[in-house]
Structure 1
Amino acid sequence: MMEHDLAYDAIVIGAGHNGLVAAAYLAEAGKRVLVLEAESEVGGAAVTAEIAPDYMSSAGAHLLYAWPQRIEKDLKLAKHGFEMASRDMVTVALDKDGKHLVLPASSRADIARLKDRSPRDAEAYGPFMKRVQRYAGLLQPLLEKGLPVPGEGAKQAATDALSFIWRFEKMGEEDRQELGRFLPASMAQVLDRTFEDPLLKAALAMDATLGHHMGPKSPGSAYQYIYRLAQQNIAGGKMGYPAGGIGALPQALARLIGESEGRVRTNSQVRHILVSDSGETEGVVLTDGTKFHAPIVLSSLDPRRTYLDLLGAAHLAPEQTRRLGGWRMQGACAKINLALEGLPIIEGLEEREYGGRWLIAPDMTAMERAFVAAKRHELAVEPIMEIVLPSYHDPRAAPPGHHTMSILLPHVPYDLNGGWDARRDEFTKRVVDAVAVYAPDIKLKLIAGEILTPPEIERRFGVPGAGWHQGDMSLDQTLLFRPGYGLSHDDGPVRGLYLCGSGTHPGGGLTGEPGRLAAAHVLEGGRTHV
């Protein structure tokens, strides 16, 4: 390997979607960037894989619910083969009696169906959404532009602070008081005060708890709901599925990097971040001893692994080490992908709804029971699910007339009583039986399947504890607290080291925003705003 191949303008650790977004922005700016990925393929949990011969599915993450078209346009990803098969998927809360509920209830037909279930809820839905959207509107600029910081950005920070105060004051006293009650509340408290239909409440609560180690009765789950709303608003409020599955996104980003001044190197695990005597990053060393040099290093790994494992506690203050030691990133999700010889038939489901996001969550009681079971290291009697049919949007995902089904299961324990090896079949049977309540022909059409337990998600995708947000998204681990004082881009322990993964602001989800903002820090000399 020649000396030229060892020196770069910037090195990105990890080829998950955020690391690739950061590298792509740097490459587009003319920087010579190297992306180092420990696994044999890029994407992290955002990959498309084969369930069985000729049956493809998004192996881990399976929806883009907060993907900003801004990034897509900035990086001209269409030129690199990226396209969306669907940009406006509906959310369908499945009902055992075939009276399914569609969210958001915006069209007249959706409102009419909601009114059929509950006239009171149909009347309350619009004002409720208007109220929570106001709350989300306070967060949205902070997630989209980055957080105001002292120093060089002090003037901009003051402007942003005044803007935030102005928006807060504009809400009115009643709204401000309600917001103060809303943020620390549980989603169950909020929804029980507003609605009566158990299916509607469960559907809304799913967006507050999916991917988080909490149930609808957990304090702070209401905050998670408005945080997700703010993320979705940045993305235009749409939810979609890429042609070629979720893995098409990182593949397009990798092509962009490779066609510019960048390079993506797989099977390259970083052992240590190199730091000069003056406290500046110098590059990285791999587990095989190879050294790559760069004045800038961006890590898309979680804060704990980045700072404690790769950088080393010797570069941290004691309070920073304590903060990272207490960093919570517990996950509780499993994934099942199925190959089917035909479209599962669900009574009462309209044509467009087959291409939607299905929720199996009959009520918040079932959701809370599943969460409590997971805390006790047990399986839920009634599994909660989010389901997508990838083949409905992308016919290439299965042979003609056949389909694939992607099932994401929250509230599944990492450490299962009795062990996963002994209880995998039991878990799979519970899930298929639960789906069969809504689609009775599912067992007759089932050809093959793949199950990923939380420990397998950790091993396969490099997600510690199967927590894909790289840290709980609670009030004390978001915004200025993500990951904490002295650990962010502008005041980090080592000059030239940046976090660009979900463990930094603005947090988890397939948004690409942590990567975009990290690249902006680098390109603008540490300034926050873009």
Structure 2
Amino acid sequence: MNYDDVVIGAGHNGLTAAAYLARAGRKVLVLEAADHVGGAAVSAQAFPGVDARLSRYSYLVSLLPRQIMTDLDLDVRLIRRRYSSFTPVPSDPTRGLLVDHGDPAATAAGFADLTSGGREHAAWDDFYGRVQRLAEKVFPTVLEPLRSEDDLAALVGDDELWESLVRRPLGEVLEATFAHDTVRGIVATDALIGTFADLRGDDLRQNVCFLYHLIGGGTGDWDVPVGGMGAVTDGLARAAMAAGAEIRTGTRVLAVDPDGEVRWEGGAATASTIHAACAPTVLNRLLEAAGAMPIETEAEPEGAQLKVNMLLSRLPRLRDEAADPTGAFAGTFHINEGYAQLQDSYAAAAAGRVPQLPPCEIYCHSLSDRSILGPELAATDAQTLTLFGLHLPARLFRGSREEHDAVKDLALARTLESLNSVLAEPIQDVLLRDGDGAYCLEARTPVELEADLGLPGGNIFHRSLQWPWAEQGSEVGTWGVETSHPKVRIAGAGARRGGGVSGIPGHNAAQSVLAG
């Protein structure tokens, strides 16, 4: 069978590439090993006998450009969250800080109460105001050929901020900018989602992660997809198929010949271009299976999170009696994420130990969108909770099945203890039970994410994130998806400007062909 393009992987990036290519009149085949499309961006019934469809892995949208939604006529609705975050003070969880976009005066008062004055809030406003101006300049470039760092720095026009975010360890910047440990921690968390890093590390992995979490849409807002994350990928699949793309699920690719042949059990196809919407390390295994040279990429990517999905009978009461749980849980709820705690937890995990009180953050989809709950459940006070635990790298869970499970049990127990430290009642008291009588609680380690989704080391970005500009002169003017094999593209999160639910690598892989 002959095609113009073969796409490996029907996650959101593979579907984006397929939709653009098919709409341009090309003959496109998408191959997916699972029995469904969506990859990590799916909605699923996680608990037997419970009518709730959770965004099981990815859960919020920030980096998906409106241009892609418009180009592909996506029927997807995103809800902007009023509340940015709520953070109990780690040393005294009876007090907390609510950042409310809908009430700037209340936010300022919260800062003043926490920090005994207005300095921290003024520093906060100045810092995030400058970061937003940077985002407004940088984000539109992610759908263009790569520019050099110097070009982007000139475009941003704030040399001091550029030096702070791009060339100095973020921890140094936060320590110089903010005085309060809790405020430093709130800012720092965006540098650590899915990234195992020392905030003061010279490799600047934390800085790259921070930048991606704050440039989305030019605002840094993280929006709620109505219907769950599966609504996004279902919409992309409809767009691809409506344009004529052929999607085959249950088809595991076995080998990729860089001359343009893709082989799977019982079949093969040739194409002018192969778009690998899988992880680069997975592509390398497929290239090696065909006797070809692997592409250059990170040798051993590693994820660093514990992902926990929960379904509650109601929101739990908080130790901070002045805080309304509805507002606190509607944004990002930070738990034991003070700056010092983040650093101490990193040091413990780097030394091979599960942190005593793992830092984590929680998000409640159902406060913004009840459509993910069945009618009977939606009529009650039931709520979903997604917990993302930091500084729990894959290395802690490696070993035999028994060793993995023992560490997982310890990590989950300590994570729930961390959560309970800010609640006025144990989370277990409000967990619903599934049809089998078990708690509605699902936890996945990086090792399990690797097995479930093909994420190397459980890395949700497929590899360490890269700066969204050319780091070598030879990259300037390319799309950040090209490989050493002219007919092979990286169309997934492992591309430059990959990571997150964005469609950007899929768009850029398609444009690398369509733009000639």
Give the shorter-chain TM-score range: 0.7 to 0.9
Asked whether the 8 Å contact 2:481–2:509 carries over to 1, the reply is: no
Query: In percent, how many aligned pairs have the same letter?
Result: 27
Output the CA distance in 2 between the equivalents of 1:494 and 1:139: 29
Q: Quick one: structure 1 residues 456 and 102, their matched pair in 2 at CA, closer, same or farther if it must change by over 3 Å? A: same
Residue 230 of structure 2 is matched in structure 1 by: 247
Match of 2:428 among 437, 443, 461: 443
Asked if 1:358 corresponds to 2:336, the answer is no
Residue 268 of structure 2 is matched in structure 1 by: 291
Residue 434 of structure 1 is matched in structure 2 by: 418
Asked whether the 8 Å contact 2:480–2:497 carries over to 1, the reply is: no
Q: Once superposed, what is the RMSD of the aligned Cα atoms?
A: 3.0
Match of 1:453 among 439, 445, 457: 445
Residue 470 of structure 2 is matched in structure 1 by: 480
Q: Quick one: structure 1 residues 10 and 267, their matched pair in 2 at CA, closer, same or farther if it must change by over 3 Å? A: same
Output the CA distance in 1 between the equivalents of 2:347 and 2:481: 40
Asked whether the 8 Å contact 2:191–2:213 carries over to 1, the reply is: no
> Per the alignment, in what secondary structure is the counterpart of residue 55 of structure 1?
coil
Letter in 1 for 2:386: S
Output the CA distance in 1 between the equivalents of 2:328 and 2:349: 30
Output the CA distance in 2 between the equivalents of 1:67 and 1:488: 17
Output the CA distance in 2 between the equivalents of 1:228 and 1:492: 23
Residue 167 of structure 1 is matched in structure 2 by: 155
> Per the alignment, in what secondary structure is the counterpart of residue 77 of structure 1?
coil
Structure 2 gaps of 5+ residues are: 433-439
Asked if 1:466 corresponds to 2:458, the answer is yes
Equivalent residues, number: 487
Output the CA distance in 1 between the equivalents of 2:330 and 2:482: 45
> Per the alignment, in what secondary structure is the counterpart of residue 247 of structure 1?
helix
- How much does 1:87 deviate? 5.4
Output the CA distance in 2 between the equivalents of 1:503 and 1:225: 14
Correspondences of 1:172-191 after superposition (within 5 Å):
175-176=159-160, 179-180=162-163, 182-191=165-174
Letter in 1 for 2:266: G
Asked whether the 8 Å contact 1:14–1:38 carries over to 2, the reply is: yes
- How much does 1:191 deviate? 1.1
Q: Quick one: structure 1 residues 91 and 250, their matched pair in 2 at CA, closer, same or farther if it must change by over 3 Å? A: same
Letter in 2 for 1:414: A
Output the CA distance in 2 between the equivalents of 1:48 and 1:60: 8
Residue 251 of structure 2 is matched in structure 1 by: 268
Q: Quick one: structure 1 residues 490 and 422, their matched pair in 2 at CA, closer, same or farther if it must change by over 3 Å? A: closer
- How much does 1:221 deviate? 5.0
- How much does 1:491 deviate? 5.9
**Bigger mean CA offset, 485-494 vs 104-113:** 485-494
- How much does 1:304 deviate? 3.0
Match of 2:87 among 78, 93, 99: 93
- How much does 1:485 deviate? 6.6
Match of 1:334 among 283, 298, 306: 306
Q: What are the Cα deviations for residues 141-186 of structure 1, in whole angstroms up to 9, with x where unaligned? A: 54342304xxxxxxxxxxx889547436x54xxx35x643542332
TM, length-normalised to structure 1? 0.83
Match of 2:186 among 203, 209, 216: 203
Output the CA distance in 2 between the equivalents of 1:77 and 1:229: 23
Letter in 1 for 2:490: L
Output the CA distance in 2 between the equivalents of 1:221 and 1:117: 30
Asked whether the 8 Å contact 2:56–2:309 carries over to 1, the reply is: yes
Output the CA distance in 2 between the equivalents of 1:307 and 1:427: 32
Residue 10 of structure 1 is matched in structure 2 by: 5
Q: Quick one: structure 1 residues 440 and 41, their matched pair in 2 at CA, closer, same or farther if it must change by over 3 Å? A: farther
Q: Quick one: structure 1 residues 500 and 469, their matched pair in 2 at CA, closer, same or farther if it must change by over 3 Å? A: same
Match of 1:507 among 477, 483, 498: 498
Residue 128 of structure 1 is matched in structure 2 by: 127
**Bigger mean CA offset, 13-22 vs 358-367:** 358-367
Asked if 1:143 corresponds to 2:142, the answer is yes
**Bigger mean CA offset, 364-373 vs 487-496:** 487-496
Match of 1:70 among 67, 76, 79: 67
Output the CA distance in 2 between the equivalents of 1:88 and 1:146: 34
